[in-house]
Structure 1
Amino acid sequence: MKINKHIKELNESKLHASNFDFFMASKLTDILISKLTLVFLLSIILNYKQLKNKYLMNCFFRSILFFCFLIGSVGIANSQNLSVELSKNKVVVGGETYFMHLVKEKQTLFSISKAYGVELSLIMRVNRKSDPNVKVGEVLRIPVLKSIALDDPSISEKNNDLFEYYIVKEGDTLYSISQKYGVDIKTIIQNNPGLNTNLVLGSVVRIPKSLQQKKEELHVVVPKPDKKYFYYVIKKGDTEYSISKQFFMKLRKFRKLNPSVKKKTLKIGSWVRIPRYLVPEEYFKIPEVKKDTISDLSNVMDTMMEVKPKPEYLAQNKIRIGLFLPLYLETNDTINQIRTYKDTIPVVLEREPRLIYSKSRNFIRFYQGVLAAIDSIEKEGISVDLHVFDTERSVERVQQIISRITYTDFDYFIGPVYQNTFSPVAKLAQQKGIPIISPLSSQNQELKTNPFVFQLNTSVESVCDKMSDYVCDDFDMKNIIVVHPERYKHLKEYKVVEDVERNLFESGKYWLNDQISYKKISFEEYGLYGIERILCDSCENVIILPINNQPLVENIITNLNVLSQRFAIRLVGFSKWQRFNSLDPELLYHLNFTMFSPYFVDYKSSWVNSFITNYRDKYLCEPNDFSYSGYDICTYFSKGISKFGKDFMEHINDMDRNMLLQSNYYFKRVNAFGGFENNGFHFLNYSRDFKIRHLITEPEKRNEEIDYIQKAFNY
């Protein structure tokens, strides 16, 4: 260890010395050039009268241009050779890991991309940049290239006319490899004796090349770069736009240089012309080709033959959970004690049957759901160590708990449920890198600043996004009506109106399609008859209520029910309305009520009925929403950590959601430095035939990537 330390110090001293030498050399060069330029200009002024000959004048002016170019090239060389210190700070966004690089003085986007070994175009795309300019103090996300660690150059260089050699990476299957190379699974197995369907990470698979692929490789010859052009080889995923963007070309110019692109689509392995002056120097470097030997190939093949399929293993067999709930145990003991006196001696008797303190009732159901999940998990060979802490609603009590568990290792925390008690535990979780789950709150204050927070209850803003996507999915033959109170723009629910109008007007769809109708009306001002006047007889009327105020919602729904007998109405609203006790559920069926909710229990499911039966037998009571929530949280996160270990947060959405009873988990990071919010929804429709249509919505991954980039630095 001491030797390594001395070597490291020696290397650092050499690095500083080389940087100092380069700095002094660049300064001396600047001084020398500036003095030569001054002498040259003075000589021009003194000999101006002798420069009447046009030829001599041209020579002098060309000399001036040469000196200007020389000074500029020295400045560029100095800026490009500036050392870039690599960042050690990382953040995980949507399963992808990024370095967080702080731009310092004299650093350029090209020098940063060169230092990290990441393509300039990729850095620009991740950080939503249209040009390669950066500012001092700007924070950039630099993708961490995971594939470099698994790819062995000695393997990829063994590709020949007959076979390609592929190293198995995480998540690969025989089917995915066969689809990637266009070779059927049977052929792959025949060319890899001993290969099993369970692929081993890091093993080598030999892929036979198809005849068509061999012909294409033989016919396509990429020209060498010349004085005018660089010949870029088309890769998978390349388009005209992406290539022109990568080299900062206009699409028109790209097509003009490559007229054949107009006539046919881009083929992988073919080439296009790029002006040489637009191409960075690293593109012209020829990689060193290592010598290949037959013995090396046989060693690789022997290794492949020795690999035996292993059964699926767990990264962790033991899970430690910290459960923070306001159980009010002391209060429950107090209310169940009856104090009497016998001959002046106090006697304490236990109340029969026992009473349960009202504030702890639902959280006891939650705790029972967690216990039911642990019973199920332990049957699969996973050991669970559960630590339960009674937080009540006291910050002082939570601080005492934290002082006792500071040096205890946990895999994840559930709770606390209240914001004032959640914040201290969240700080401890952030310090120790422990995932912490907010099970009930939809507006957790730690979500935007703590990367380890998981908010399971979806915010109103996210629900509004989903509602607007649903309404705007197909505008044709729809009469969209927003029924609102007199003052509503300050409400969170107003976001659904903003999103719908953005989709309608900013995109131009409203002006191009005559079959779209959009109106807004104040119920307090115009009432039932005003709504009736703007309803359509010949198309569906999609009515949006951007409110959650119970008296107002019930009043509007009651009035709309009168119109539902004459008009085709689809009411779009919020899941909170289901909990309005004074609202007749029959009205929701009449109005074809449609909503998105993160929770739904399908009582027709055998999985749900089995849970209910076991719960009744063990706890002699009925499970409620808190019971289902406790079961889902403990099951999902415990199985995820047991499968992926410390990498669980990078695979948070790779778990099987069919194990859940009422939830639909799909997590999105809210910004580059914040935690995860659940964006998994159940689509529910109370149809006019008195049936509830249920559908588990799938996330739109295409929009998700754009959403991450937009929220990258919202903190």
Structure 2
Amino acid sequence: MAHWKRFIYVIIALFSLQLTARAQETETFVHTIKQGETVYSIARTYQVSPESILKLNPTASTGIKAGGTLTIPQQQNGTQEKRFHTIQAGETLYKLTKTYQVSADDICKANPGLTAENFKAGMVIRIPASTMPVNIAPAKETAQPQGVAQSGCREMHKVKRKETLYSIAQNFNLTEAELKAANPEMNEPGYKLRKGDFVCIPFPKPEKPKEVIPTNEELMGKKTVSAPQKKISLGVILPFKGGTPENEKMIEFYRGVLMAVENMKRSGTSVDIFAYDSGKSPGDIQAIVNNHPLNHLDFIIGPLYPEQIAPLSKFCQHHHIKLVVPFSSLGDNVYENPYYYAINPPKSYQFAEAARLTTELFGKENVIFLEGTENDKDAAAFVDATRKRLQQNGSKANHLRLNDDEIKWMEAMTQYKDNVIIPNSSSIKLLNQLFPKLKEFTKKNPEYRIKLVGYPEWQTYANNHLENFYQFNTYVYSSFFRNPLNGNADEFENAYQKAFHTPTLVSWPRFGMLGFDTAIYFLKGISTYGEAFDQHLSQIVTTTYQHRFDFQRISNWSGFINREIEFIHYSPSHSIELIRLKK
């Protein structure tokens, strides 16, 4: 008895382990880390806490790198409203519809960035709740033909001399088992087939129709057809009132938008523009969407303040209106609103792209990380991203302190390559200390070739340090640039002054140019491609004065961030050029 109890306990234990293993499989999924992602951004993408990710991936607490993987917990919301699935090798969209009992159309709607081309192993997609009805009707039985005298036999065959079960079965395209099933006496002991016996020849079993499995392309259907849209409605929601310097910048931004609207009108596109003062609070935004008919707008530009983004994003997502956020990089709604466009992306993505450019341009040179006396968190993040990228590519870097003596500087440098110096601070204070040091060192040691890599903020120091930038072959990474040596900048500023009888503000960036560049990109794109706008983002051709755009989704269900980063190169030949490397 004890033996049987022990056996039953073992069976129960094994069954419990199987259930636990299956539960763990379905309660987690695998995410492949992409460039610029952090544990926080990944947590926001999947709407889980960073702590829950670190619990499953303890080593991630010391950092993550592109190409690695993380185990992610499914949302613990007590419902099956939506879950995430990592596509496995060989899986198809059709197979997922069967696995999750969800229609292909619903999966595609939940993943607006999903295409037949990017449906690949390792990609994570969102699975919505099942909406497919469960078929509980009993399957209809196929009517069988009655045969000879309703016997179920196709015919009665009279056995001939030398015939066997095998030869009869072969003659009628049957198996011996099928023949015996139709003639039960053949299974009796001692049965022998004799000449003259009558054998029931059954009807062949009806063939099951082969299941036609549709391809991903067929299930996803045709993409939205591009069609020109010659009437566009645009909303601008910014803090215009108050008379502060901040308000003046927003007014200049709006004037840049108006210049873009006039440009489109001259090319034959009608644009209706609606402007609203945003106030400062989320309640002010809510009052605007409650009290004004905004549902008809094609896109909205704004707001300025991060705390106002959520209510406006919610409204735009509900009404399928594109929301263009030109200033803040803190809008977490980009992770869940597919109609969200962030001109200024989260900093981690900026640092990752800048590190990629730096490594591709200078990876074979002698890179030197220069440590100043200040603590600059953003610059440190860029330096760290660049260091890791160099290590991944098998490149080494040297290190210097700003206050090191000349001998240590010479030990860190080489005469056989360009020496690329990357400071760990973007401050004017560091530059004021660095340039005299570089001038003294190169005067004594002219055999060393030096290049300098710097930060977007350095554009604001050009008035004081332009000659130094030229002298030390300086490269500044940035997502925007107003080139003072380019006639286009003067062209815009002259047109602005003529239209509004006032010059543009001296600011960084130039807000009038930012307004124009933002509006002209979206107006031109919608005018050219209509509802298929987001399928042609890289094909939109516009003339911009300061900003360029490279919008990409963070995930298949998210909004878009601008991944555009380029180098501003101040050459010793006293020229300025933009360097953009292909991804």
In 2 relative to 1, CA 487–691 (structure 1 residues): closer, same or farther, beyond 3 Å?
Answer: closer
Residue 386 of structure 2 aligns with an amino acid whose one-letter code is: V
State the 1:103 CA deviation.
Answer: 6.0
State the 1:458 CA deviation.
Answer: 4.5
Residue 649 of structure 1 aligns with an amino acid whose one-letter code is: D
Q: 1:372-391 residue pairs with structure 2 within 5 A? A: 372-391=259-278
Q: Is the Cα contact below 8 Å between 1:463 and 1:596 reproduced in 2?
A: no
Q: Which one of the candidate residues 378, 402, 405 is aligned to 1:492?
A: 378
State the 1:400 CA deviation.
Answer: 1.6
Q: Distance in 2 between matches of 1:549 and 1:458?
A: 22
Q: Distance in 2 between matches of 1:401 and 1:527?
A: 61
Q: Is residue 2:317 matched to residue 1:451?
A: no
What's the secondary structure of 1:571's corresponding residue? strand
Residue 545 of structure 1 aligns with an amino acid whose one-letter code is: P
State the 1:583 CA deviation.
Answer: 4.6
Q: Is the Cα contact below 8 Å between 1:575 and 1:595 reproduced in 2?
A: yes
Q: Distance in 2 between matches of 1:601 and 1:608?
A: 7
Counterpart in the other structure of 2:433: 555
Counterpart in the other structure of 1:128: 122
Q: Distance in 1 between matches of 2:561 and 2:405?
A: 38
Q: Is the Cα contact below 8 Å between 1:324 and 1:390 reproduced in 2?
A: yes
Q: Is residue 2:460 matched to residue 1:579?
A: yes
In 2 relative to 1, CA 423–642 (structure 1 residues): closer, same or farther, beyond 3 Å?
Answer: same
Q: Is residue 2:325 matched to residue 1:325?
A: no
What's the secondary structure of 2:556's corresponding residue? coil
Q: Distance in 1 between matches of 2:286 and 2:212?
A: 61
Q: Distance in 2 between matches of 1:600 and 1:103?
A: 41
Q: Is the Cα contact below 8 Å between 2:238 and 2:302 reproduced in 1?
A: yes
Counterpart in the other structure of 1:590: 471
Q: Distance in 2 between matches of 1:578 and 1:365?
A: 20
Residue 126 of structure 1 aligns with an amino acid whose one-letter code is: K
Q: Is the Cα contact below 8 Å between 1:442 and 1:460 reproduced in 2?
A: yes
Q: Is residue 2:559 matched to residue 1:652?
A: no
Counterpart in the other structure of 2:517: 632
Residue 483 of structure 1 aligns with an amino acid whose one-letter code is: L
In 2 relative to 1, CA 579–445 (structure 1 residues): closer, same or farther, beyond 3 Å?
Answer: farther
Q: Is the Cα contact below 8 Å between 1:419 and 1:445 reproduced in 2?
A: no
Greater RCO structure (CA 8 Å; 6+ sep): 2
In 2 relative to 1, CA 678–554 (structure 1 residues): closer, same or farther, beyond 3 Å?
Answer: farther
Q: Which one of the candidate residues 664, 667, 671 is aligned to 2:555?
A: 671
Counterpart in the other structure of 1:680: 564
Q: Distance in 2 between matches of 1:318 and 1:615?
A: 25
Q: Is the Cα contact below 8 Å between 1:564 and 1:591 reproduced in 2?
A: no
What's the secondary structure of 2:567's corresponding residue? strand
Any idea what the Cα deviations from partners look like across 1:660-702, whole Å, max 9, x if unmatched? 122111111123333211122343111122221234x2542xx
Counterpart in the other structure of 1:316: 229
Q: Is the Cα contact below 8 Å between 2:371 and 2:400 reproduced in 1?
A: yes
State the 1:482 CA deviation.
Answer: 0.5
Q: Distance in 2 between matches of 1:398 and 1:677?
A: 23
Q: Distance in 2 between matches of 1:124 and 1:662?
A: 32
In 2 relative to 1, CA 482–389 (structure 1 residues): closer, same or farther, beyond 3 Å?
Answer: same
In 2 relative to 1, CA 359–529 (structure 1 residues): closer, same or farther, beyond 3 Å?
Answer: farther
State the 1:285 CA deviation.
Answer: 8.4
Residue 595 of structure 1 aligns with an amino acid whose one-letter code is: V
Any idea what the Cα deviations from partners look like across 1:326-361, whole Å, max 9, x if unmatched? 111xx44xxxxxxxxxxxxxxxxxxxxxxxx43322
Q: Is residue 2:323 matched to residue 1:436?
A: yes
What's the secondary structure of 1:441's corresponding residue? coil
Q: Is the Cα contact below 8 Å between 2:353 and 2:563 reproduced in 1?
A: no
Counterpart in the other structure of 1:292: none
What's the secondary structure of 2:533's corresponding residue? helix
Q: Distance in 1 between matches of 2:370 and 2:380?
A: 11
Q: TM-score, normalised by structure 1?
A: 0.48
In 2 relative to 1, CA 325–285 (structure 1 residues): closer, same or farther, beyond 3 Å?
Answer: closer
Any idea what the Cα deviations from partners look like across 1:383-439, whole Å, max 9, x if unmatched? 111111112323332222121136631111101111122222112112212111111
Q: Is the Cα contact below 8 Å between 1:127 and 1:141 reproduced in 2?
A: no
State the 1:316 CA deviation.
Answer: 1.9
Deviates more, 1:416-425 or 1:451-460: 451-460
Q: Distance in 2 between matches of 1:546 and 1:396?
A: 41
In 2 relative to 1, CA 401–456 (structure 1 residues): closer, same or farther, beyond 3 Å?
Answer: same
State the 1:613 CA deviation.
Answer: 3.0
Deviates more, 1:450-459 or 1:584-593: 450-459
Residue 122 of structure 2 aligns with an amino acid whose one-letter code is: R
Q: Distance in 1 between matches of 2:246 and 2:282?
A: 17
Q: Distance in 2 between matches of 1:537 and 1:466?
A: 29
Q: Distance in 2 between matches of 1:103 and 1:415?
A: 34
What's the secondary structure of 1:613's corresponding residue? helix
Q: 1:354-373 residue pairs with structure 2 within 5 A? A: 357-373=244-260
In 2 relative to 1, CA 502–623 (structure 1 residues): closer, same or farther, beyond 3 Å?
Answer: same
In the alignment of these two chains, the number of paired residues is 388
Counterpart in the other structure of 2:400: 521
What's the secondary structure of 1:387's corresponding residue? strand
Residue 537 of structure 2 aligns with an amino acid whose one-letter code is: I
In 2 relative to 1, CA 139–619 (structure 1 residues): closer, same or farther, beyond 3 Å?
Answer: closer
Q: Distance in 2 between matches of 1:313 and 1:472?
A: 38
Counterpart in the other structure of 2:370: 483
Counterpart in the other structure of 2:57: none
Q: 1:110-189 residue pairs with structure 2 within 5 A? A: 112=95, 115=98, 126-128=120-122
Q: Is the Cα contact below 8 Å between 1:574 and 1:596 reproduced in 2?
A: yes
Any idea what the Cα deviations from partners look like across 1:87-116, whole Å, max 9, x if unmatched? xxxx9xxxxxxxx87569xxx957725858
Q: Distance in 2 between matches of 1:360 and 1:285?
A: 64
Any idea what the Cα deviations from partners look like across 1:239-259, whole Å, max 9, x if unmatched? xxxxxxxxxxxxxxxxxxxxx
Q: Is the Cα contact below 8 Å between 1:666 and 1:699 reproduced in 2?
A: no
Q: 1:235-246 residue pairs with structure 2 within 5 A? A: none
Q: Distance in 1 between matches of 2:422 and 2:529?
A: 42
Residue 328 of structure 2 aligns with an amino acid whose one-letter code is: S
Residue 120 of structure 2 aligns with an amino acid whose one-letter code is: V
Percent identical among aligned pairs is: 21
What's the secondary structure of 1:497's corresponding residue? helix
Residue 361 of structure 1 aligns with an amino acid whose one-letter code is: E
What's the secondary structure of 2:332's corresponding residue? coil
In 2 relative to 1, CA 125–420 (structure 1 residues): closer, same or farther, beyond 3 Å?
Answer: closer
Q: Distance in 1 between matches of 2:434 and 2:486?
A: 34
Counterpart in the other structure of 2:296: 409
Q: TM-score, normalised by structure 2?
A: 0.59
In 2 relative to 1, CA 113–674 (structure 1 residues): closer, same or farther, beyond 3 Å?
Answer: closer
Counterpart in the other structure of 1:159: none
What's the secondary structure of 2:545's corresponding residue? coil
In 2 relative to 1, CA 581–444 (structure 1 residues): closer, same or farther, beyond 3 Å?
Answer: farther
Residue 352 of structure 2 aligns with an amino acid whose one-letter code is: D
In 2 relative to 1, CA 649–141 (structure 1 residues): closer, same or farther, beyond 3 Å?
Answer: farther
In 2 relative to 1, CA 500–362 (structure 1 residues): closer, same or farther, beyond 3 Å?
Answer: closer
